[in-house]
Amino acid sequence: MGAIKIITDSTADIPKRVREQHNIEMVPLKVLFGEDTYLDSVTITNNQFYERLAKADMLPTTSQPSPVEFMEAYERVLGTGSDTSIISIHLSSALSGTYQSAVLGSTLLDMPGDITVIDSKSASYGCGMLAVKAAEMAAAGETKEAIVTKVENMIKDRKMYFLLDTLEYLQKGGRIGKAAALFGSILNIKPILTIDGEGEVMAVDKVRGTKKAMQRIIDLFKNDFGNDPIEMTVGWTHKNELALELAALAQGQLNIRSIRQTEIGSVIGTHAGPGAAALFITRV
């Protein structure tokens, strides 16, 4: 059986050391502040991104990799061995054209290649957890068919919730008006967001007060998983205090078998703003 290589994009928010440990190839999206263009997580770090975001009057925009950039990534990986095959897992097609670019890129190859492109129907580590699990299974010698089946099952089963620390960036992005943002901030309203089964961002609840909002998220997970053993990743945008507090609360109430940490990058961070917290959970 030939080697199986995993490819994802920068929105998966897999820490660099984890990507390197599992030999996961990453294709970056682009981040645009006005006329300045950066390769996400390559020519702009998360710290640099959030520092610039805090000073920006208008939110940056992002653009997906081109089909040619995906083609070049596939060629690099396929060139490592004649019997290499690829599983390419990407940001929800409901949020970006990245998945479509990857599919088109796979059709442009001049060389033979066994490539399966998967729509994660998720974002941030909701996508990242799929790529990491796929890479772990590949390293353990699992077949490509078994890996794809596991990933598809995880897509159906995974849950995630984001707790925002501020309404400022939703207002800047036109998601809510200035009056609503001001009123919500005065009342200490904390929005809870998720990504649904179709890969769309949706509001789950608005809770007054951080402590109540955190407990609301834990209650949502209890409803999703009960006492089933789970794997949890805690994520944050630039500042991790709220995220670590949320993770500690989860540890006391959920049957957690493993915990990972990651910093959420530019795509989610643009609209969530610094200080947001997220938990990504799947069954063991």
SS3 105: helix
The Cα 151–Cα 132 span in angstroms is 10
Instruction: Say yes or no to pLDDT of 57 above 50.
Output: yes
Domain with CATH 3.40.50.10170 in the chain: 4-29+64-156
Query: Which distant-in-sequence residues (6+ apart) come within 8 Å of 198 by Cβ?
Result: 94, 121
Beta-strand relationship, 30-33 and 230-236: unpaired
Q: Give the 3-state secondary structure of residue 37.
A: strand
Residue (of 239, 202, 231) closest to 123 by Cα position: 202
User: Cβ(59)–Cβ(173) under 8 Å?
Assistant: yes
The answer to whether residues 13 and 125 touch, using CB atoms and an 8 Å cutoff, is yes
Condensed to tens digits (0 to 9), the pLDDT of residues 19-44 reads: 999 999 999 999 999 999 999 999 99
Three-state DSSP at 78 gives helix
Beta bridge partners of 279: 161, 234
Cα within 13 Å of Cα(218), Cβ side: 19
For the beta carbon of residue 174, count every other beta carbon within 10 angstroms: 9
- Residues 4-18 have pLDDT tens digits of 999 999 999 999 999
128 exposure class (CB count in 10 Å sphere: 0-12, 13-18, 19+): buried
- pLDDT surpasses 80 at 155: yes
279 has pLDDT over 80: yes
pLDDT value at residue 182: 46
Q: What is the CATH number of domain 4-29+64-156?
A: 3.40.50.10170
- Determine the Cα–Cα distance for residues 141 and 162; give it in Å rounded to an integer: 34
Q: What is the pLDDT of residue 81?
A: 65
Give the other-Cβ count within 10 Å of 198's Cβ.
Answer: 10
- Whole-model pTM: value is 0.93
pLDDT tens-digit map of 230-261: 999 999 999 999 999 999 999 999 999 999 99
Residue 175 has pLDDT above 90, yes or no: no
Q: pLDDT band for position 174 (50/70/90)?
A: low
Give the whole-number percent of the chain exceeding pLDDT 70: 92
The answer on pLDDT for 178 being more than 60 is no
Question: Nearest to residue 77, comparing CAs of 19, 40, 26, 150?
Answer: 26
Contacts of 36 (CB under 8 A, 6+ apart): none
Q: For residue 11, what pLDDT is reported?
A: 96
Query: Who has greater pLDDT, 80 or 264?
Result: 264
Please give the pLDDT value at position 271.
Answer: 82
Q: What is the pLDDT of residue 95?
A: 92
Q: Are 115 and 85 in contact (CB under 8 A)?
A: yes
- For residue 50, what pLDDT band results from cuts at 50, 70 and 90? very high
> What is the tally of helices (H) and strands (E) in the chain?
11, 13
Q: Integer distance in angstroms from the first to the last C-alpha of the chain?
A: 27
What phi, psi does 40 have (nearest 5°)? -55, 125
Task: Reply yes or no on whether the pLDDT at 1 is more than 60.
Answer: no
88 closest CA partner among 197, 104, 79: 104
pLDDT at residue 181 greater than cutoff 50: no
pLDDT number for residue 267 = 85
Which residues of the chain form CATH 3.30.1180.10?
Answer: 159-283
CATH number of 159-283: 3.30.1180.10
Task: Determine if residue 187 is left, alpha or beta; phi over 0 gives left, psi from -120 to 50 gives alpha, anything else beta.
Answer: alpha
Beta bridge partners of 170: none
Place 173 in a pLDDT band, splitting at 50, 70 and 90: low
